[in-house]
Amino acid sequence: GDGGGSGRKKPNILITGTPGTGKTTTSSLLADAAQLRHINVGDLVKQKNLHDGWDEDLQCHVVDEDLVCDELEDMMEEGGNIVDYHGCDFFPERWFDCVVVLRTDNPILYDRLSNRGYTGSKLSNNIECEIFQVLLEEAKASYPENIVVALQSDSIEDMSKNVETLVDWVRRWSPAS
């Protein structure tokens, strides 16, 4: 990455993927290892009330995407952030130097989401989301091809390798001159 002339001294990374693929765990490890700020968008939405209520069908908050972007703008301009969210099409393209899409094999994802207490349509919707590669397609449609990377996240070994790969990438990244 060349920083795209953004003026950032540290890169911004988006970690996206279907719920349960390991975004929060991976982001947290990467934030520690590469000294970046971990922004869990779901938590931020709850803490700062960046939503318009609760969607009963989908069993989740109706996120106010404009409020989320306003809230993040200054930090993103500064750089050095890991944004952790199960969506990626409403952030400004200019924010990110790297977009990581985590992927998990279905039986493994099924177990993780069941353990999290997901059942019924909430469980099957998320499993379908992974089968149809919704987040990968969304990332490819929203960001330049050369900054989007899909990483498998089935095992602890996968996670360690992914963190290592990303730490290396952060170390090699330099701002555009």
Note the residues at the interface with Mn ion (CB under 5 A): 23-24
Q: In 3D, which of 98, 93, 76, 78 has the Cα closest to residue 16?
A: 98
Amino acid at 100: V
Task: Choose the one of ligand ADP, Mn ion, none that binds residue 80, judging by a C-beta under 5 to 8 angstroms depending on kind.
Answer: none
Interaction residues for ligand ADP, span 124-163 (CB under 6 A) = 153-156, 158-159
* Contact letters for ligand ADP, residues 15-34 (x by CB under 6 A): --x-xxxxxxx---------
Calculate the dihedral angle through the C-alpha atoms of 39, 25, 109, 131, rounding to the nearest 10 degrees.
40
Backbone dihedral angles phi then psi of residue 105, each to the nearest 5 degrees = -60, 145
Backbone dihedral angles phi then psi of residue 4, each to the nearest 5 degrees = 60, 20
* Contact letters for ligand ADP, residues 69-108 (x by CB under 6 A): ----------------------------------------
CB of 62 to Mn ion, least distance (A): 18
How far apart, in whole angstroms, are the C-alpha atoms of residue 84 and residue 99?
10
CB 154 within 8 A of CB 109: no
Task: Choose the one of Mn ion, ligand ADP, none that binds residue 153, judging by a C-beta under 5 to 8 angstroms depending on kind.
Answer: ligand ADP
Footprint of ligand ADP (CB under 6 A): 17, 19-25, 112, 153-156, 158-159
